[in-house]
Amino acid sequence: MNRKSSRTGSGGFTLVELLIVVIILSILAAIVVPQFASSTTDAKYSALDANLASLRGTTELYFQQHGAYPGAVASSGGTPPAGGTAGTGAAGTAQAFADQLTMYSNAAGQTATSSDATYKYGPYLKKGLPVEPISGSAAVEISTAGVLGMTATAGTNAGYKFDNKTGQLIANSTALETR
C-alpha cells in the first residue's frame, strides 16, 4: 500500500485552525453573555411593573366594591359559609390585606374560603399575592399613615408596601420605590 495515498484521504484540522476557532468562539461568548445577563434584569423589572399594576388594579376594584382598601378593616369575625374557613387578619395587618384579596369577602370585608350570597365578592387574586421578582419576597408591609408620596422602609429591601388609607402601593425597596 502506498503511504502517500492513505495520507491524503484523512483530512483533519491542524492545531492552528483549532486555535483560531476557539478564539473566535471566545470572542463571541464575551459579546453575547453580558447581553443575556442584562436581559434577565430587564425581565425582572418588567415583571415587577406588571405585578404592581395588577395589585394596584385589584386593590382599586376591592375599594370600589367595599368602600375601603384591603387591610383597612379586619378580615376576621364573620361567620363563613358551610364548609368554609374564616379569615384571620386583624385591621391594619398584612394578613387582612392578603385575606381580603385572596378569599371571598362580604360587604364588611370579612373573608371566608368559600362563597355564598353574603360572601359574594372576590377573590381578586386567585393564585395568592405575587412575588416581588427582584427580592423574591411576597411580604407586604401595611402603612396607615394616609400620606401620598409614601417611601420604602429604610433597611427593608423586599416585598411591597401598601397604604390602606390612600391605596398607594410601592415596591418596598429604596432602589425600586419609584416604580
Question: Rounded mean pLDDT of the chain?
Answer: 89
100 domain-assigned: yes
pLDDT band at 8 (very low <50, low <70, confident <90, very high): low
- pTM for the full predicted model: 0.77
Distance, C-alpha 147 to centroid of its chain: 24
Domain holding 159, by residue range, is: 48-171
Phi/psi for 143 (5° steps) reads: -110, 145
64: in domain: yes
In angstroms, the first-to-last Cα distance of the chain is 78
**Could you tell me if residue 65 is inside a domain?**
yes
**Residues 26-64: tens digit of each pLDDT:** 998 888 777 776 678 888 899 999 999 999 999 999 999
Q: Is residue 22 a part of any domain in this protein?
A: no
pLDDT of residue 131: 92
Q: Within a domain: residue 59?
A: yes
Which residues are paired to 132 by β-bridges? 137
- Joined together, the cell numbers standing for residue 27 give 470572542
User: Is residue 102, in this structure, part of any structural domain at all?
Assistant: yes
> What phi-psi label fits residue 112: left (phi over 0), alpha (psi between -120 and 50 degrees) or beta?
beta
134 versus 6: the higher-pLDDT residue is 134
**CB count, 10 Å around CB of 17?**
10
Question: H or E stretch including 69?
Answer: none
Domain assignment present for 38: no
Q: Within a domain: residue 27?
A: no
Count how many domains the chain has.
1
